């Protein structure tokens, strides 16, 4: 998820572009850059730097030439680390065309090979740079028409993209396009804007045009032309932005956490993109995954819970022993590790010191390290042999939601990949899992449609002193995650249990009215019956049951329905109501949802 801004109009472009990037910096902040078409001499002028936007602003000083049209970008790296070269904009080899991109070009490797064979010189490791070279070639075929070139190039791309491009032969003109990634037009008076979201230009105009899938916007200071990819001109669907500036930064949501809960379908889709039938070759090129005899997952907090779910899938599909370890405990056990151990550190930030130190310990003993991380270029992936990046985009709220979902996806993808390599997963099971994975974004959308009544229900328990979470099989780590969310957001005692464990002591906790959230296994499964008995045990002692289930459950006092899916994938769906319960409880208790007390987004101390 990156920040994208374009300005063309009566004012000098630098101000509105930088202001827009500041507003969008929450979308990505590991590098930033701008490109302008100078008034004098109509040249392309560019400056870009790794690091936060401030790094770029520092070096700009007063050396920026006058220009009335330009584009800017803040990056959340997906392909290629956060370096000056990988920062956007990217140029063609003539240095006259600049392009910025948000999203993932799934077929970038094959495009790059074709372009290099045709003599194009690449300067970065990014998927985005291919677009600059494609546009440069296509422009020449279309008599210098940048919009026509954009329409043609978009038809060659697979994946998700928001693109803005400028060319020094057409000063004042900015061409944008989008597919599965946002782009809005800001309609001004003698000026126009293009941006990833309205927060970039809301202080200048509240008039906006939403672009649909595979639509191209061709703007100048006084004109806006929108077409489809065949060049057919489309009507303008102008609307008035109702948000204020701060609400716009959260996409109109009250908190970043709620925004990120609702971003989960896209985060899952982006993490799955191009990987369901096999991991990209550049993900696993640095590691030999054949010669391993055990897997050790190390992580903390929510990431640890994702690892616990991963254990079930990897053990079953790859027929290999999987240990899941709390990173903070792991190395103090002095565990046996050798070069047949595949160590999988899971970390959203890539900077968690407990996980990093555990990884270094295992690496010194010969383990192969295959990281799962959401932050490109952070320490853990840099010190790993291979990394599977999740594509959740920046997660601003301290409580991990979309990062957790994409960590689950990464676990499933690694389980499938190892199963293929080891020949331990049948073709029909693989086909079933691949099919169910592809349906997850839509099924999470369905769960999100049931959120409102759940928010109302949660408020009934806001005075409770404790809440218990029960689950079995992959529902057990889901219960642990639900309890953690409630603790860290509502500051309420909460505990997750394996359903079968309750009768061995914890059931003594049950009093009249104790709220118990039961994460039900898939209907009809053996464990569903066992879980139903566990529910009866606690209900008989006064518990109030909130069941998360894919089918009706008579014993439940309250039922939250989720769609059916493969039993191993169910946590992707059942965790969403748990996130909402924790979110709503935090609000009911007047807590700071995005920045809960005592917590940090990345714990970089042991
Ligand atoms: C979860 O909501 C917390 N933010 C915390 O448990 C987090 O998952 C843990 O600190 C690990 O962080 P990491 O994924 O960045 O390594």
The pLDDT value recorded for residue 271 is 96
In this structure, the number of other CB atoms found within 10 A of the CB of residue 214 comes to 16
349 Cα nearest atom in ligand 1? 15
| Distances in whole angstroms, Cα of residue 324 to Cα of each of 342, 372, 380, 391 | 12, 14, 18, 23
The pLDDT value recorded for residue 27 is 75
Determine the residue of 344, 384, 603, 606 to mutate for testing ligand 1's pocket, defined as the one with the most ligand atoms within 8 A of the Cβ atom.
Answer: 603
CB of 545 closer than 8 Å to CB of 514: no
CB of 82 closer than 8 Å to CB of 377: yes
The pLDDT value recorded for residue 171 is 96
Separation between Cα atoms, residue 384 and residue 37, nearest integer Å: 41
The pLDDT value recorded for residue 469 is 98
Which residue's CA lies nearest to atom 5 of ligand 1? 301
The torsion angle over the Cα atoms of residues 378, 384, 386 and 388, rounded to 10 degrees, is -40
- What residues flank ligand 1, with Cβ below 6 Å? 300-303, 347-349, 352, 355, 398-400, 488, 602-603
The pLDDT value recorded for residue 155 is 98
pLDDT digits (tens, 9 = 90+) for 475-512: 999 999 999 999 999 999 999 999 999 989 999 999 99
In the reported structure, the alpha carbon of residue 62 is separated from the centroid of ligand 1 by a whole-number distance in angstroms of 41
Separation between Cα atoms, residue 400 and residue 302, nearest integer Å: 7
3-state DSSP assignment of residue 544: strand
| Distances in whole angstroms, Cα of residue 217 to Cα of each of 44, 147, 208, 513 | 21, 8, 12, 57
DSSP label at 144? T
Which residue's CA lies nearest to atom 16 of ligand 1? 347
Place of tokens 């990394």: 387
Domains of the chain and CATH, by start: 3-247 (3.60.20.10), 250-447 (3.40.50.10490), 452-588 (3.40.50.10490)
In this structure, the number of other CB atoms found within 10 A of the CB of residue 426 comes to 11
Determine the residue of 261, 350, 351, 352 to mutate for testing ligand 1's pocket, defined as the one with the most ligand atoms within 8 A of the Cβ atom.
Answer: 352
Percent over 70 (pLDDT), the chain: 100
Rounded to 10 deg, the angle between the 146-154 and 129-141 helix axes is 120
The pairing of beta strand 90-91 with beta strand 97-105: antiparallel
Q: Strand pairing partners for 47?
A: 34
Place of tokens 């999740």: 390
The pLDDT value recorded for residue 475 is 97
The torsion angle over the Cα atoms of residues 580, 586, 589 and 593, rounded to 10 degrees, is -140
Select which of 2, 154, 300, 373 is catalytic.
2
In the reported structure, the alpha carbon of residue 266 is separated from the centroid of ligand 1 by a whole-number distance in angstroms of 20
Q: Strand pairing partners for 216?
A: 177, 227
The pLDDT value recorded for residue 524 is 82
Separation between Cα atoms, residue 538 and residue 528, nearest integer Å: 16
Place of tokens 């899941």: 324
603 Cα nearest atom in ligand 1? 10
Q: Is the pLDDT of residue 575 over 90?
A: yes
Average pLDDT over residues 172-197: 95
Q: Is 2 a catalytic residue?
A: yes
CB of 17 closer than 8 Å to CB of 204: no
Between 603 and 99, the more confident residue is 99
In the reported structure, the alpha carbon of residue 344 is separated from the centroid of ligand 1 by a whole-number distance in angstroms of 15
Find all residues with CB under 8 Å of 549, minimum gap 6, and list them.
518, 520, 523, 556, 559, 560, 561, 562
Q: Mean pLDDT over all residues of the chain?
A: 94
Report angle CA 375, 214, 240 to the nearest 5 degrees: 85
pLDDT digits (tens, 9 = 90+) for 52-85: 899 999 999 889 999 999 999 999 888 888 899 9
pTM: predicted TM-score of the whole model, two decimal places: 0.85
Residue 353: its H or E element:
helix 353-364
Average pLDDT over residues 267-291: 91
pLDDT digits (tens, 9 = 90+) for 97-137: 999 999 999 999 999 999 999 999 999 999 999 999 999 99
pLDDT digits (tens, 9 = 90+) for 398-451: 999 999 999 999 999 999 999 999 999 999 999 999 999 999 999 999 999 988
* pLDDT range class, residue 268, cuts 50, 70, 90: very high
* pLDDT range class, residue 95, cuts 50, 70, 90: very high
Determine the residue of 256, 257, 298, 302 to mutate for testing ligand 1's pocket, defined as the one with the most ligand atoms within 8 A of the Cβ atom.
Answer: 302
Separation between Cα atoms, residue 170 and residue 132, nearest integer Å: 16
CB of 352 closer than 8 Å to CB of 603: yes
The pLDDT value recorded for residue 509 is 94
Out of 9-13, 53-57, 459-463, the most confident range is 9-13
* pLDDT range class, residue 312, cuts 50, 70, 90: very high
Rounded to 10 deg, the angle between the 427-448 and 402-422 helix axes is 170
* pLDDT range class, residue 242, cuts 50, 70, 90: confident
Select which of 52, 316, 539, 601 is catalytic.
601
């Amino acid at each position: 998820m990156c920040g994208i801004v374009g300005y063309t109009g009566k004012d000098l472009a630098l101000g509105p572009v930088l202001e827009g990037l500041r507003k969008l910096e929450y979308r990505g902040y590991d590098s930033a850059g701008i490109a302008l078409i100078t008034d004098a001499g109509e040249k392309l002028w560019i400056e870009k730097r790794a690091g936060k936007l401030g790094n770029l602003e520092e070096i700009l000083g007063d050396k920026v030439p006058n220009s009335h049209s330009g584009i800017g970008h803040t990056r959340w790296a997906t392909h290629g680390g956060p370096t000056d070269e990988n920062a956007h904009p990217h140029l063609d080899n003539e240095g006259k065309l600049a392009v910025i991109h948000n999203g993932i070009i799934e077929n970038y490797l094959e495009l790059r090979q074709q372009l290099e064979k045709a003599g194009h010189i690449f300067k970065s490791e990014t998927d985005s740079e291919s677009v600059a070279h494609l546009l440069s070639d296509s422009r020449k075929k279309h008599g210098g028409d940048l919009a026509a070139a954009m329409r043609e190039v978009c038809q060659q791309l697979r994946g998700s993209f928001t693109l803005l491009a400028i060319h020094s032969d057409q000063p004042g003109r900015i061409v944008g396009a989008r597919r599965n990634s946002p782009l809005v037009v800001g309609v001004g008076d003698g000026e126009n804007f293009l941006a990833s979201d309205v927060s970039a230009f809301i202080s200048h105009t509240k008039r906006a045009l939403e672009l649909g899938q595979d639509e191209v916007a061709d703007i100048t200071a006084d004109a806006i032309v929108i077409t489809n990819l065949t060049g057919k001109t489309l009507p303008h669907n102008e609307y008035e932005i109702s948000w204020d500036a701060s609400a716009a930064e959260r996409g109109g949501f009250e908190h970043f956490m709620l925004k990120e809960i609702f971003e989960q379908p896209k985060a899952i889709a982006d993490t799955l993109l191009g990987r369901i039938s096999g991991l990209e070759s550049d993900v696993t090129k640095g590691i030999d995954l054949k010669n391993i005899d055990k897997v050790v997952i190390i992580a903390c907090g929510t990431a640890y819970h994702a690892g616990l779910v991963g254990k079930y899938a990897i053990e079953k599909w790859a027929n290999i022993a999987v240990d899941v370890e709390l990173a903070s405990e792991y190395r103090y056990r002095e565990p046996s590790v050798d070069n047949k151990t595949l160590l999988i550190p899971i970390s959203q930030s890539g900077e968690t010191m407990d996980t990093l130190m555990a990884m270094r310990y295992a690496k010194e003993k010969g383990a192969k390290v295959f990281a799962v991380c959401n932050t490109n270029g952070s320490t853990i992936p840099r010190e790993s042999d291979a990394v599977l990046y999740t594509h959740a985009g920046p997660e601003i709220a301290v409580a991990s939601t979309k990062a957790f979902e994409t960590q689950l996806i990464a676990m499933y993808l690694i389980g499938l990949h190892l199963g293929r390599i080891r020949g331990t997963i049948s073709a029909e099971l693989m086909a079933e899992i691949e099919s169910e994975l592809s349906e997850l974004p839509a099924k999470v959308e369905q769960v999100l449609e049931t959120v409102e009544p759940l928010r109302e229900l949660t408020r009934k328990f806001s005075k409770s002193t404790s809440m218990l979470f029960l689950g079995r099989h992959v529902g057990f780590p889901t219960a642990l995650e639900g309890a953690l969310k409630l603790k860290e957001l509502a500051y309420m005692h909460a505990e997750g249990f394996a359903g079968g464990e309750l009768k061995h002591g914890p059931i003594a906790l049950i009093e009249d009215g104790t709220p118990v959230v039961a994460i039900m296994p898939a209907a009809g499964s053996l464990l569903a019956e066992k879980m139903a008995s566990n529910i009866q045990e606690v209900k008989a002692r006064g518990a109030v049951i909130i069941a998360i289930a894919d089918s009706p459950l008579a014993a439940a006092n309250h039922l939250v329905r989720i769609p059916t899916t493969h039993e191993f994938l169910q946590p992707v769906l059942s965790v969403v109501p748990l996130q909402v319960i924790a979110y709503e409880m935090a609000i009911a208790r007047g807590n700071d949802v995005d920045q809960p007390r005592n917590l940090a987004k990345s714990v970089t101390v042991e």
